[in-house]
Structure 1
């Protein structure tokens, strides 16, 4: 039995992916545990959660999460990167004592939280990186994940300029990384990409990603999901007969946007489709009822609904995109920040969906819905990606690799 530490940003989607890996490792007799920032979630199923001590002046996790949930495109993403620097600082300050006391023998760290790599090197522990979101590993022609640019192998000068701008805007985080690398005495590490580690896992698979040269810098394991989350249970509503089912979820980012929901409700009705929405608890019962959709709920079992859907409408979060494509369902995407534009760019590249039209143009959305639910060629392309995701290995393969890295 090995004690395996998980370090990741305190965002629900990232924690959920780590939790699925943790369940698989626990089933094999290991003892995984989370080490999170002070104020992060207290429970993660059967996986114990520990926290580093809070310090005066540290940003409150709830405030960071609330700020991250406000749509704002690139600026919001970069603001969150700056906030995250303080959380990294907190983990690096309190992490060594906590990890020693908890008997950590290996660290699995999220790509977006450099503290995992820095602490592993400081404590001389094996490290496995995990890309829950779009991988940040650089590659020729591959734009940064927060851009919706296409794959442009001939546009390296453009990509270099953008990377330089991103580095300048991320200087607070970069200074934090460099300072802790020096303090830990682990050699020069100046930017996030320096903290990826030699062994990396990714939920992204080549069938969905932009082209990258071989060998890949990460092992594509596909979606990390618990068995209960992907079980083929019946959805909690009557499946419509004679009308295609459209499932819409905007996470917590846009879950309370009534104008958007109303536009989707009108568009799906005009397209002859039955709309089901998961609003993340951001609508009241009265607001949800006023939409007049087939079914509305705060939360729904995604895979159970998606397997019966002809189309998924989403903000483009990595977990939602992967779940939809694992079910072979095309997507309409309205990205608002983080890696969502990068997911949209990859969806377009492979012909798996489109960008959602403006809510001010419900007729245009209706046209998109009507066309995509009948697009047999697109459905066939989505089925190819579904097969690739199913064969990638998931939590079992990820656990195999983690075990291979144990001392």
Structure 2
């Protein structure tokens, strides 16, 4: 919906959402936005104009940044799907820094023009809090993935290190954070330059609230959770589509690599063949990454679509093979389904390591993966009851977490009294 649409008649104010221009962040953000609209907020997503295509909620407005001379989104997305390696990581961080810089340059004027009275900033996009500080607006932080809270006992969320609350673990974590800081220098330079230009201190005011999709039981133990940070449960809309399982005695296994990595045909073929080897049938969602011919060529008689009603499918599955994307992981856990995790990048290794720690998953490297290795891990999580029991334990926490409604109520209460 465009910014000149009719706003809610019982307005709390105009909330501007600043997040990453990715479906994995914008989809849960829109569900949260819907719950905020129900509480009287007018909500606008602010980003590069090409991100408009991700906005599907009929009551969520979109306000684009001024059009640049060249497309901004497609080159950025291209850096996220390049093969893993140091060159890819460097390009991705530089592209992220450029996107943050553009938001810092252009978004403040957009927020002033639309009359924003508060900001909801995704934790992965540091431009949001800084823009709120420049405009002296109250702001909340939405944590769509793993909590980005630095703590001595907890490794950086982008690393698949296990939890160690001892001197060795803390030394290792310090090294991990030091390397992370070094790699993220392009982003840090952008932020520091803008703080100087705007006369802001590095500390600044804190968000009114930080609220996460992540259930506390999934995260590593923490000693120093800051005031105003709250764990929660997934922000999901109720699906209108159902999944009619085929008349087939074979157990079903949901297989997904998310929306960015869905073109990895060879990895999907390994999944489908591994499922067939253990007597299961793969249900593959590739997010539009495969052609019709590539779909037809997958082994093992899988069920294949670009998109499935994911929650409905998972309720009928015996296991899931996932890349560790946070939304898919939460959906599988909400259904009490054990997981074989194949983390590719971003915070996926950290998510997979947490799944292993709670006993809900096996983790394998997608770069050194054979059909036999994957089939053995899949058989293990399907047969051993402890994996499903661990997933169901988190499912119970998710069921009582309140989802987007509880998150929206907490955000509304916090922004109503920002002091």
Fold conserved between structures, TM > 0.5: yes
* CA distance in 1 between partners of 2:81 and 2:311 (Å): 24
Distance 1:379 1:216, change over 3 A: farther
Change (3 A) 1:386 1:144: same
1:186 and 2:200 correspond: yes
Specify whether residues 67 and 280 from structure 1 end up closer, same or farther in structure 2 by C-alpha distance, changes over 3 A only.
same
Q: Which residue of 1 aligns with 2:170?
A: 156
| 2:19 counterpart of 1:8 | yes
Q: Which residue of 2 aligns with 1:60?
A: 72
CA distance in structure 2 between the partners assigned to 1:55 and 1:357 by the alignment: 39
Indicate how the Cα distance of structure 1 residues 75 and 350 shifts in structure 2: closer, same or farther if over 3 A, else same. Answer: farther
3-state SS of 2:409 partner? helix
CA contact 2:79–2:95 (8 Å) conserved in 1: no
Change (3 A) 1:59 1:163: farther
Conserved? CA contact 1:10–1:41, under 8 Å: no
The alpha carbon displacement at 1:104 in A equals 0.8
Cα deviation, residue 238, structure 1: 3.0
- Where do residues 278-317 of structure 1 align in structure 2 (5 Å cutoff)? 278-291=285-298, 292-317=300-325
Tell me, in whole angstroms, the C-alpha distance in 1 between the residues paired with 2:334 and 2:101: 36
> Out of 193, 202, 205, which is 2:212 matched to?
202
C-alpha separation between the residues in 2 aligned to 1:84 and 1:142? 24
Contact 2:288 2:306 in 1 (8 A): yes
Q: Residue deviations 1:223-247, cap 9 Å, x none?
A: 111223xx6x531x53454321101
Where 1:112 maps in the other structure, the secondary structure is coil
Alignment of 1:203-242 (within 5 A): 203-213=213-223, 215-216=225-226, 218-228=229-239, 233-235=241-243, 237-242=244-249
Query: Partner of 1:246: helix, strand, or coil?
Result: strand
**TM-score with structure 1 length normalisation?**
0.92
What CA distance in whole angstroms lies between the structure 1 residues aligned with 2:216 and 2:24?
21
Query: Alignment partner of 2:329: what SS?
Result: helix
Residues 73 and 338, structure 1, Cα contact 8 Å, conserved in 2 = no
Contact 2:21-2:51 within 8 A present in 1 as well: yes
Matches within 5 A, 1:35-114: 35-42=46-53, 43-46=55-58, 47-55=60-68, 60-72=72-84, 76-114=88-126
Q: Confirm or deny that 1:255 pairs with 2:253.
A: no
Q: For the structure 1 residues 200 and 386, does the alpha-carbon distance in structure 2 shift closer, same or farther, using more than 3 Å as the test?
A: same
1:128 equivalent to 2:140? Answer yes
Deviates more, 1:237-246 or 1:206-215: 237-246
Where 1:400 maps in the other structure, the secondary structure is helix
Question: Of 372, 390, 393, which residue of structure 2 is paired with 1:363?
Answer: 372
1:256-271 alignment to 2 at 5 Å?
256-271=263-278
1:12, distance to aligned residue in structure 2 (A)? 0.8
State the secondary structure of the residue aligned to 1:152.
Answer: coil
Q: 2:44 aligns with which of 26, 33, 40?
A: 33
The C-alpha deviation readout for 1:140-169, integer Å capped at 9, x for no partner, is: 321111100101222212211221111111
The question of whether the paired residues in 1 share the 8 Å contact of 2:138 and 2:207 is answered with no
CA separation of 1:212 and 1:92: change in aligned 2, threshold 3 A: same
Q: Distance in 1 between matches of 2:360 and 2:302?
A: 25
Please give the per-residue CA displacement for 1:354-388, whole angstroms capped at 9, x wherever unaligned: 11365752122222222211221211111110111
- Counterpart Cα distance in 2 of 1:268 and 1:188: 51
Offset at 1:196?
7.0
Cα distance in structure 2, aligned partners of 1:347 and 1:75? 29
Residues 286, 305 of structure 2: 8 Å contact kept: yes
**C-alpha RMSD of matched pairs (Å):** 2.1
| Partner SS for 2:161 | coil
Contact 1:132 1:202 in 2 (8 A): yes
Give 2:326's aligned residue: 318
Question: Partners in 1 of 2:336 and 2:86 — Cα distance?
Answer: 30
Instruction: Note the residue ranges of structure 1 that are not aligned, 5 or more in a row.
Output: none
- Give 3-state SS (helix, strand or coil) of 1:210's partner: coil
With 397-406 and 6-15 compared, the bigger mean Cα shift is at 397-406
Q: CA deviation at 1:23?
A: 0.8
Change over 3 Å in CA distance of 1:142–1:150 after alignment to 2: same
